[in-house]
Amino acid sequence: KDLWEASLIDATRVAGTEQEWEKFVGKINHKRNSGNSFRFRFELKWKQVLQAAAVLLVGILLGTGIAHHAGSGTPILTASAPLGSVSKIILPDKTEVFLNAGSQIQYAFDEDGESRGVILDGEAWFKVFKNDRLPFLVQTAYYDIKVLGTEFNVKAYSEDNQIETTLEKGVVQVISSGTLKLKREVSLKPGEQLVYARDKETIRVRLVNPKLYTSWKDNKLEFIKMELGELITLLERKYGVNIEVEDKSILQYHYSGTIKNETILEILEIIRHTLPLRYEIVGQTVKIYKK
């Protein structure tokens, strides 16, 4: 049940065959294997490289880059999770971050320790190291989240209509950004989720089970009455595959279930036996049809 809903003002958007199946599986495995290597790009002087290396050594990264902040010389850490994988990063201030598939954060390496925060594109779970003097700031293309010390999840993919912030522990404050002005700042309590609908330019706060929105970091997905269209997007990100739907009307179907260690083929088989659908592998794409 929604706790409340409100309009926004000045909202601006920013920001077949056996052989085919073997090729398809091969593509997935290739993506997963390639995600295990470190990718660096250095544009730093030698002293800055050593400083930035200290940051990198405390993180477990599937994709990483370092560059100067434009015009400032401040090292910027970029961490990403490719499609089909999840990354864990520990930031210099001891904040833990899990990045979901197809997500990226940027973090300024502040030598003076006078600022804390990340710029997020995609989905991430945070366990922010508490610092009463210096709040942690998560910036998205829509709104910002100010934190002192807590555990929460932010889902802010640029292609998604709904932007969600889900609180597990502590308190977070959703605030206006340079591109989105809220009528008022919103403080969330554990078990509350703020949802911003880009198409309607509205926000609402509702009570949820946070585990349904954060279990992805433990390689487990749980969902209740999820629309098939949203589930397909989730599967594409998790497994790094392309899925096409021939009859758009089936996107309104709803599905409930749990995904843990199943392969994409096992998931497709479960869906086929649960909903009036069929699928086939054509080249490197999964095609879903209405029965």
Residue with tokens 């544009």: 43
Say whether pLDDT at 168 is over 80.
yes
Which secondary-structure segment (H or E) carries 24?
Answer: helix 18-34
The per-residue pLDDT for 69 is 45
Say whether pLDDT at 18 is over 50.
yes
pLDDT tens-digit map of 203-247 = 999 999 999 999 999 988 888 889 999 999 999 999 999 999 989
Say whether pLDDT at 5 is over 90.
no
Q: State in Å, rounded, how far the first CA of the chain is from the last one.
A: 34
Torsions phi, psi of 209, nearest 5?
-90, 105
Is 131 or 53 the better-scoring residue by pLDDT? 131
Q: pLDDT band at residue 4, thresholds of 50, 70 and 90? A: low
Amino acid identity, residue 216?
W
Alpha-carbon distance values, 116 to 105, 122, 129, 133 (Å): 13, 19, 10, 11
CA dihedral of residues 17, 241, 167, 175 (deg, nearest 10): -150
Which secondary-structure segment (H or E) carries 96?
Answer: strand 96-99
List, in order, residues 6 or more apart from 140 with CB less than 8 Å away.
119, 120, 121, 154, 156, 163, 177
What does the mean pLDDT of the chain come to?
A: 79
The per-residue pLDDT for 43 is 32
Q: What is d(CA 82, CA 87) in angstroms, rounded to the nearest whole number?
A: 9
Q: What is d(CA 140, CA 138) in angstroms, rounded to the nearest whole number?
A: 7
Beta bridge partners of 139: 119, 144
Which secondary-structure segment (H or E) carries 19?
Answer: helix 18-34
pTM > 0.85? no
The DSSP secondary structure of 25-63, one letter per residue, reads HHHHHHHHHHTTS------S-HHHHHHHHHHHHT-B-SE
pLDDT tens-digit map of 109-165 = 666 667 789 999 999 999 998 888 899 999 999 999 999 889 999 999 999 999 999
Cβ atoms of 188 and 205 within 8 Å: the answer is yes
Residue 80 Ramachandran class (φ > 0 left, ψ -120 to 50 alpha, else beta): beta
Cβ atoms of 256 and 225 within 8 Å: the answer is yes
pLDDT above 90 covers a percentage of the chain that reads 50
The per-residue pLDDT for 291 is 87
List, in order, residues 6 or more apart from 218 with CB less than 8 Å away.
none
Mean pLDDT of 37-41: 32
List, in order, residues 6 or more apart from 234 with CB less than 8 Å away.
221, 223, 226
The per-residue pLDDT for 74 is 63
Is 9 or 93 the better-scoring residue by pLDDT? 93
Span of 25-29, 72-76, 108-112 with lowest mean pLDDT: 25-29
